[in-house]
Amino acid sequence: MNLHEYQAKQILRSGNINTPRGMAATSADAAVSAAGELGGDAWVVKAQIHAGGRGKVGGVKLVKSLDEVRSLAGSLLGKVLVTKQNAPDGQPVNQVLVEETLPIARELYLSLLVDRETERVAIVASVAGGMEIEEVARATPDKILTETCDPLLGVQDFQCRALAFALELNGEAYKDFCRLLPALYRVFIANDLSLLEINPLVVTTDNRVLPLDCKMSVDDNALYRRKALAELRDDSQIDAKEAAAKMLGTNMSTYQSGGRHPSKLPRRRWWRHTRDGRAGLQDHPARSQRPGRADQYLRRHRALRRHRRRHHPGGEGSRRQGAGDRAAGRHQCRTGPQAAGRIRTGDPCSGQPHSCGKTSRGCSVMKKTINHRGTEAQSFSLGFSMPLCLCGENS
């Protein structure tokens, strides 16, 4: 569950973390009142949506008069803001955040997130703040710094010092950062967050370190014990179907076929041997039209087993293999090297049913092993095996 910027900064302030002073407003008049209460001669008005890239589309602007505050807030409120992250539908702007301005000297990047591979909280920092971290990682990966937190010890002092030195902080900024990082980790753990991103983390001209922007995501699986955070959900920022699913306590997933109808997707094919002995690549009889269905392989396995039971009741892999012989106390039929020394004698075949219940041509019990010299092999198997009846005819 994502939170708005003003909500995230309220949580930071509850964790004794300094943030720029600001107030949220739902109307142009409320925005003007907030600017007057903050004081000063310049303010920053930010549209509140669950997406980044607001500054590139006019969602974050610097204003220097109360009339500009009223005009900008009136133009943003009720508007659907489309950014790179929420295109093409966009998201509605229901609140704006009016903040004081800061004298910025440098912009850094800092985030805490759950690393699924190590199953620990990872800290990601970079000297390239104020821009999309994905582009920084792709263009200059050497500027990405990572530290992994021990689940018992949390953020340790040496990790704070290592990141502070790597970010080229000194003086009061160095001390502020070493105090800020453990406090952020405590907020992350105490609120069951899955992401805490500060972009940018600014260093002011008087050498202070403050989070200028903040993005938070709460783990949905922990909302049952975070009732106060669950009340901060803004369903207007998510899809209507997903919001309805959340109300029912379930999740919604959509299937993307890349613009193609499911009937036009590639079919699952397999090698199949027909009754006349021919083999070819054919469509699976129980295939699924949609890709990625795991049960299609189970259906194929079951179909093959049904085919073997129906047409080869005594064949390899069948549950009925040798069932009649075991019940009657006789041997179990096998082919190949194991058939040597197991040939059963009996009356010459005259079309009468054998112990397997079939005539001589369909008998799967009586086998004879033939070696490469054409003679019977009773105690060894050097050749191949083929089913023969005692009368010499193929069974």
Beta strand extents in 205-240 (DSSP E only): 209-211, 215-218
Residue that has been written with the tokens 């009846």 in this structure: 389
Q: Give the integer Cα–Cα distance in Å for 337 and 332.
A: 14
147 is known as an active-site residue: no
Tell which residue, 155, 172, 62, 61, has the closest CA to residue 110: 155
Q: Give the integer Cα–Cα distance in Å for 110 and 174.
A: 14
| DSSP conformational letter for 53 | -
Q: Other C-beta atoms within 10 Å of 334: how many?
A: 15
Catalytic residue among 6, 109, 174, 185: 109
**Which amino acid would we find at residue 339?**
A
- Identify whether the C-beta of residue 217 lies closer than 8 Å to the C-beta of residue 193: yes
Secondary structure element (H or E) that encloses residue 136, with its range: helix 133-139
Cα distances from 116 to residues 122, 159, 188, 194, 222, in angstroms, run: 10, 20, 16, 11, 17
CA 270 to the chain's CA centroid = 29
| DSSP conformational letter for 330 | -
Residues in the chain: 395
Q: Other C-beta atoms within 10 Å of 135: how many?
A: 10
224 is known as an active-site residue: no
User: Which residues are known to be catalytic?
Assistant: 109, 197
